[in-house]
């Protein structure tokens, strides 16, 4: 048999991450625009986590926990900037990003210590 | 009450995230990121079992990054959206059967009008083209897969949330939380779209934004795939016509959809965050029209170029001849792509713009008739003296050409400023673009579905039902859209749920035509489902006998190899030449296909 038609043997044909990258972005957008605090935070966690996951899977990031910490820095910077420079409803959105960033940071730090050295 | 709601939302989000985490642990060992044995194994295991690389059941479809699976998902998604857009328009046509507001009411009509336009253009048109592109571009150009398989999957999975957001106003209107479907029309003109306080508009804008992100990611993927993933033997001079149109279309998406995304964000900011982009003190309502149509007109070509590619690919195979003037069909595609960015203000002739600017937009708009006519004449010339086989895909291709001519010629009149000033905002415009989007684009899509049905199902559709589908679609569309042209000549304005009694007859004709079309689509779905499940299996890898005319293309060679490989793994016979089932000559498939391609493209 010469080959598996149309199939590559270079990489996997399944990945669990794309669906959650997409849903995470959608949920995060809805949370931010409709000012739904828990939805925005949850969407951000899903989006950031899945992006780090897909980057790890495709080899762009070596350590997922360090990836989370890096992503949290971006979230904290953006969320902090919005929260500090605005008031009321817009500020609430900034705080949502800030809280999401903190949770991502916690996950990254916790994972780094909890997980034994990567196999 | 508000706090209780927040707590409930927090709990729901928490449970959802936990469920996601639980799902992920089934697929990923979080420590090593090696796939677990029972789930998705690596494809590199070289066992010869194609299914080993994908999980089974629903998980396979949720996690797939295979271009063919994603193509099927796009197709199912597109047809689902087509069904909802169709139901919406049937409700509207029912209301329009009588001059008065008798059945569904004007506000519901406006909501259906909005969802019909947006659904058909963004959730049916663009995805159904992506379905063909995903499934067939890699096969046609000899690639393993798309250049970025995971981005491909992300692009698809952005679409279901987009559809939910765009449609959710309808179910939410039944609750008392104060969200109703948007009534902005698909053009979302300001100040109307800024002043409608309904949060359903925000949800729809978010959904549209997501669908734009999805289209842009898909376009980047197609461009990268066609540039970098072509097989060794597929040079630019051998690239098939469908890939050319997809490449041009992807370029258009790349330059226009980000602009739509930006304009939508500006509109969202105006609505929710107190900015004044489109307020009179800011850019004014005209800014929206310019931004929207700078996207909106290329969108027309985004939708029509790949179907033109489908017709250019399929029509010659049933005319027994290569495509007449292949090079010029490619050049006209590129010309349309370039010109499409220079015509947007022809949607705005009646807004009081400077007559000199108006005249220049008229000139460029009329110029688009030239490459369009080049294509039309090439299709007709391909058929001229050809050995026509009137199979369902061929019938739909011919139907495409017919409807495209009517839609195109009515468009030439609208491109002319003096005529447009009379016909602007009448049903003439509605008739014109429906001849293109339904009469031509959707019909070409049907041609593609029937043509490749044996390839992606391994079975043949029911030919009589396919012809019923064709004739009901053609008769229904011409009845409806000609009636619209006549209504427009009579001065019937578009976008109204009610009308003066003198328009009743043509409106009735249009309604009857719409229901004939709807019946045809039911036949189509029935045919698709029953044939997929229990249609007769095709007996060879070349069900259309394209080899006889030297017109076989690469995707059929792939199909043939797939069939042979399947037999080889079942029977354990490694020598594939011995299990050839169609009587083809050993090692003839590649050369046969090559000579076919050469004869087509030189």
Please count the other Cβ atoms lying within 10 Å of the Cβ belonging to residue B587: 9
SS3 B493: strand
pLDDT at residue B579, rounded to an integer: 42
- Chain B positions touching A33 (Cβ under 8 A) are 202, 206, 268, 272
Average pLDDT, chain B: 89
| Residue A55 counted as domain residue | yes
Confidence of residue A89 (pLDDT cuts 50, 70, 90): confident
Please give the DSSP secondary-structure letter assigned to residue B593: H
pLDDT at B455: 95
A28 vs B: CB within 8 A: no
Q: Is the pLDDT of residue B232 over 50?
A: yes
What share of chain B has pLDDT > 70, as a percent?
90
**Is A84 at the interface with chain B, CB within 8 A?**
no
Map residue B522 onto helix, strand or coil: helix
Backbone angles phi, psi at B579, to 5 degrees: -105, 15
Q: Is there a contact between A10 and B66 if contact means CB atoms under 8 Å apart?
A: no
How many whole angstroms separate alpha carbon A97 and alpha carbon A82?
9
Question: B43–A13: do the CB atoms touch at under 8 Å?
Answer: yes
Tens digits of residue pLDDT in B432-441: 999 999 999 9
Q: What is the ipTM of this complex?
A: 0.90
A116 touches B at CB < 8 Å:
yes
Q: Which residue has the higher pLDDT, A3 or B57?
A: B57
Name residues 120-179 of chain B within 8 A of A (Cβ): 138-139, 144-145, 149-151, 153-154, 156-158, 161-162, 165
Minimal Cβ distance to A13: which of B54, B161, B565: B54
DSSP B277: S
Per the CB < 8 A criterion, the answer to whether B131 and B97 are in contact is no
**Are residues B23 and A19 in contact, defined by beta-carbon separation less than 8 angstroms?**
no
Phi, psi of B97 (to 5 degrees): -70, -20
Say what the pLDDT of residue B593 is: 41
Cα distance between residue A82 and residue B297, in whole Å:
36
pLDDT above 90 for B58: no
Q: Does A16 touch chain B (CB under 8 A)?
A: yes
Q: Residue A13 has what pLDDT?
A: 76
Mutate one of A9, A22, A53 to test the B interface: name it (highest B CB count within 10 A).
Answer: A22
pLDDT score for B28: 63
| Domain presence at residue A4 | no
Closest chain B C-alpha to A6 CA, distance in angstroms: 6
pLDDT at site A58:
87
Please state, in angstroms and rounded to a whole number, the distance separating the CA atoms of residues A63 and B437: 49
Give the count of domains, chain A: 1
Best CA proximity match to A34, nearest among B115, B258, B204, B257: B204
The pLDDT, as a whole number, for residue B50 is 42
Query: What is the model's pLDDT at position A9?
Result: 45
The pLDDT, as a whole number, for residue B37 is 41
Alpha helices (H) in B122-276, listed in sequence order: 126-141, 149-157, 159-167, 169-173, 192-195, 199-228, 241-272
- Structural tokens at position B53: 């690389």
Degrees, nearest 5: CA angle B68-A50-A8:
30
Tell me if chain B has a CB within 8 Å of the CB of A90.
yes
Dist CA B173 CA B181 (whole Å): 7
Judge whether residue B4 has pLDDT over 90. no
* Contact yes or no for B401/B311 (Cβ under 8 A): yes
Which residues does chain B have within 8 Å of residue A21's beta carbon, measured at their own beta carbons?
Answer: 154, 157
Query: Residue B306: pLDDT above 80?
Result: yes
Rounded to the nearest angstrom, the minimum Cα separation between B566 and chain A is 9
Instruction: Provide the Cα torsion B571, B576, B581, B585; round to 10°.
Output: -170
Residue numbers in A near B44 (CB within 8 A): 9-10
**Gap between the Cα atoms of A23 and A93, Å rounded:** 19
Number of H helices, E strands in chain B: 23, 0
Kindly tell me if the per-residue pLDDT of B310 is higher than 90.
Answer: yes
Whether A34 and chain B come into contact, CB under 8 Å, resolves to yes
- d(CA B343, CA B346) in angstroms, rounded, equals 6
Q: Which residues of B touch A34 (CB under 8 A)?
A: 199, 202-203
- What share of chain B in percent tops pLDDT 90? 83
pTM of the entire structure? Answer: 0.89
Determine which of A2, A12, A52 to mutate to test the interface with B (most B C-beta atoms within 10 Å): A12
Enumerate the β-bridge partners of residue B537: B459
Across the interface, whether the CB atoms of A19 and B62 are under 8 A apart is answered yes
For residue A35, give how far its alpha carbon lies from the nearest alpha carbon of chain B (Å).
Answer: 10
Q: How far is Cα B135 from Cα B143, in angstroms, rounded to an integer?
A: 11
Verify whether the Cβ–Cβ distance B43 to A46 is below 8 Å: no
CA B112 to chain centre: 20
Helix, strand counts (H, E) of chain A: 4, 0
CATH classification number, B64-314, choose in 1.10.3720.10, 1.20.210.10, 1.10.472.10, 1.10.287.370:
1.20.210.10
* B 27-46 residues with CB < 8 A to A: 27-28, 30-35, 40, 42-44, 46
pLDDT band (50, 70, 90) for residue A87: confident
From B435, B297, B422, select the one nearest B361 (Cα to Cα).
B297
| Whether the Cβ atoms of residue A118 and residue B32 lie closer than 8 Å to each other | yes
* Tokens linked to B19: 């469920």
A46/A64 Cα distance (integer angstroms) = 14
Whether residue B233 contacts residue B598, with contact meaning beta carbons closer than 8 Å, is answered with no
Yes or no, beta carbons of B40 and A58 under 8 Å apart:
no
Residues 6 or more apart in contact with residue A108 via CB below 8 angstroms: A65, A66, A67, A68, A69, A71, A72
Q: What residue ranges do the domains of chain B occupy?
A: 64-314, 546-601
**Cα distance between residue B218 and residue B216, in whole Å:** 5
- Work out the pLDDT band at B568, boundaries 50, 70, 90: low
Cβ atoms within 10 Å, residue B49: 11
Residue A1 has pLDDT above 80, yes or no: no
Contact residues, chain B, for A115 at CB < 8 Å = 30-31
pLDDT higher than 70, residue B321: yes
Higher pLDDT, B117 or B273: B117
Alpha helices in B229-354 (DSSP H): 241-272, 285-314, 326-339
Which chain B residue has its CA at the smallest distance from A59's CA? B33
Q: Is pLDDT of B87 > 50?
A: yes
Nearest chain A Cα distance for residue B381, angstroms? 35
pLDDT of B492-545, one tens digit each? 999 999 999 999 999 999 999 999 999 999 999 999 999 999 999 998 999 999
Q: Residue A14: beta bridge partners?
A: B64
A16, B27: Cβ pair inside 8 Å? yes
Residue B131 in tokens: 């379905």
Work out the average pLDDT over A41-54.
95
In chain A, which ranges are E strands? none
Q: How many CB pairs under 8 A join A and B?
A: 158
Picking from B136, B155, B157 by the largest number of A CB atoms within 10 A of its own CB, the best residue to mutate is B157
Residues on chain A touching B40 (C-beta within 8 angstroms): 12-14
Q: Which domain holds residue A81?
A: 17-114
CA distances from B276 to A20, A49, B264, B465 (A): 34, 35, 13, 55
List the single residue in A with minimal CA-CA distance to B55: A14
Please check whether residue A100 is in contact with residue A45, taking contact to mean a CB–CB distance below 8 angstroms: yes
Query: B3 pLDDT band (50/70/90 cuts)?
Result: confident
Q: What is the mean pLDDT of residues B261-282?
A: 94
Q: Cβ neighbours of residue B408 under 8 Å, at least 6 residues apart?
A: B369, B372, B373, B376, B436
Indicate if the pLDDT at residue B429 is higher than 70.
yes
Q: What is the mean pLDDT of residues B154-176?
A: 95
Name chain B contacts of A114, Cβ cutoff 8 Å.
none
Query: How large is the average pLDDT for residues B454-482?
Result: 97
**B402's tokens:** 């017919």
Query: For residue A117, what pLDDT is reported?
Result: 56
pLDDT band per the 50, 70, 90 thresholds, residue B355: very high
- One-letter-per-residue 3-state SS of B75-135: HHHHHHHHHHHHHHHHHHHHHCCCCCCCCCCHHHHHHHHHHHHHHHHHHHHHHHHHHHHHH
| Number of neighbours of residue B34 by Cβ within 10 angstroms | 11
Task: Give alpha helix (H) positions in B440-585.
Answer: 443-457, 463-489, 504-534, 554-571
Whether the predicted pLDDT of B46 surpasses 50? no
d(CA B305, CA B333): 7
Q: Is the pLDDT of residue B473 over 60?
A: yes
Lowest mean pLDDT among A78-82, B37-41, B127-131, B184-188: B37-41
- Cβ–Cβ contact A114 with B under 8 A: no
Residues 535-574 (B) with a CB less than 8 A from some CB of A: 558, 561-562, 565, 568-569, 574
Question: B291 CB contacts (<8 Å, ≥6 apart)?
Answer: B259, B260, B262, B263, B266
């Amino acid at each position: 048999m010469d080959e598996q038609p149309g199939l590559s043997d270079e990489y996997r044909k399944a990945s669990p991450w794309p669906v959650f990258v997409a849903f995470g972005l959608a949920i995060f957008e809805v949370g931010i625009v409709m000012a739904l605090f828990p939805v925005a935070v949850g969407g951000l966690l899903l989006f950031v986590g899945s992006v780090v996951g897909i980057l790890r899977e495709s080899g762009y990031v070596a350590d997922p926990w360090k990836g989370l910490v890096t992503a949290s820095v971006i979230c904290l910077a953006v969320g902090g900037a919005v929260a500090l420079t605005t008031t009321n409803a817009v500020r609430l959105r900034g705080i949502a990003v800030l809280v999401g960033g903190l949770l991502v940071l916690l996950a990254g730090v916790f994972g780094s210590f909890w997980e034994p050295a990567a196999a | 009450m508000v706090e209780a709601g927040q707590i409930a939302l927090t709990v729901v989000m928490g449970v959802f995230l936990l469920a996601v985490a639980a799902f992920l642990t089934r697929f990923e060992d979080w420590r090593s990121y090696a796939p677990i044995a029972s789930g998705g194994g690596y494809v590199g295991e070289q066992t010869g079992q194609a299914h080993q690389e994908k999980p089974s059941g629903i998980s396979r479809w949720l996690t797939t990054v295979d271009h063919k699976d994603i193509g099927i998902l796009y197709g199912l998604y597109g047809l689902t959206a087509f069904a909802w857009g169709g139901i919406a328009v049937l409700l509207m046509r029912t209301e329009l059967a009588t001059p008065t507001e008798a059945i569904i009411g004007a506000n519901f009509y406006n909501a259906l009008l909005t969802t019909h336009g947006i659904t058909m253009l963004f959730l049916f048109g663009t995805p159904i083209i992506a379905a063909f592109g995903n499934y067939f571009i890699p096969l046609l150009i000899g690639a393993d897969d798309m250049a970025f398989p995971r981005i491909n999957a992300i692009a698809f999975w952005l679409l279901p949330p987009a559809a939910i957001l765009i449609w959710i106003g309808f179910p939410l209107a039944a609750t008392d939380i104060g969200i109703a479907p948007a009534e902005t029309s698909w053009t979302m003109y300001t100040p109307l779209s800024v002043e409608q306080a309904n949060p359903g508009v925000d949800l729809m804008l978010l959904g549209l934004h997501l669908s734009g992100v999805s289209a842009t990611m898909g376009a980047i993927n197609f461009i990268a795939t066609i540039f970098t993933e072509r097989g060794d033997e597929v040079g630019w001079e051998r690239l098939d016509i469908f890939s050319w149109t997809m490449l041009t279309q992807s370029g258009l998406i790349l330059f226009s959809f980000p602009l739509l995304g930006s304009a939508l964000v500006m509109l969202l900011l105006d609505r929710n965050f107190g900015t004044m982009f489109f307020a009179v003190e800011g850019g004014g309502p005209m800014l929206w029209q310019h931004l929207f149509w700078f996207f909106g007109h290329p969108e027309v070509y985004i939708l029509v170029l790949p179907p033109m590619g489908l017709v250019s690919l399929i029509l010659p195979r049933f005319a027994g001849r290569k495509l007449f003037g292949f090079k010029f069909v490619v050049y006209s595609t590129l010309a349309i792509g370039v010109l499409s960015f220079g015509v947007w203000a022809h949607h705005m002739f009646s807004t009081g713009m400077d007559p000199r600017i108006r005249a220049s937009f008229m000139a460029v708009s009329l110029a688009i008739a030239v490459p369009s006519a080049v294509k039309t004449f090439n299709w007709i010339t391909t058929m001229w003296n050809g050995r026509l086989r009137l199979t369902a895909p061929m019938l739909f291709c011919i139907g495409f050409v017919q409807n495209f001519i009517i839609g195109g010629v009515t468009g030439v009149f609208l491109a002319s400023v003096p005529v447009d000033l009379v016909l602007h905002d009448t049903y003439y415009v509605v008739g014109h673009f429906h001849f293109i989007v339904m009469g031509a684009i959707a019909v070409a899509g049907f041609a593609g579905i029937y043509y490749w049905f044996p390839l992606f199902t391994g079975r043949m559709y029911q030919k009589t039902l396919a012809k019923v589908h064709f004739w009901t679609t053609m008769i229904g569309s011409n009845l409806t859209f000609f009636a619209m042209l006549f209504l427009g000549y009579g001065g019937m304005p578009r976008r109204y749920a009610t009308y003066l009694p003198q328009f009743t007859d043509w409106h009735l004709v249009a309604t009857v035509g719409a229901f004939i079309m709807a019946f045809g689509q039911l036949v189509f779905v029935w045919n698709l489902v029953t044939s997929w499940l229990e249609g007769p299996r095709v007996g060879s890898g070349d069900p259309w006998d394209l080899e006889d005319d030297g017109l076989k293309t690469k995707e059929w060679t792939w199909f043939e190899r797939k069939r042979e490989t399947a037999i080889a793994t079942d029977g354990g016979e490694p020598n594939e030449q011995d299990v050839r089932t169609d009587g083809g000559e050993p090692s003839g498939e590649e050369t046969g296909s090559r000579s076919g391609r050469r004869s087509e493209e030189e």
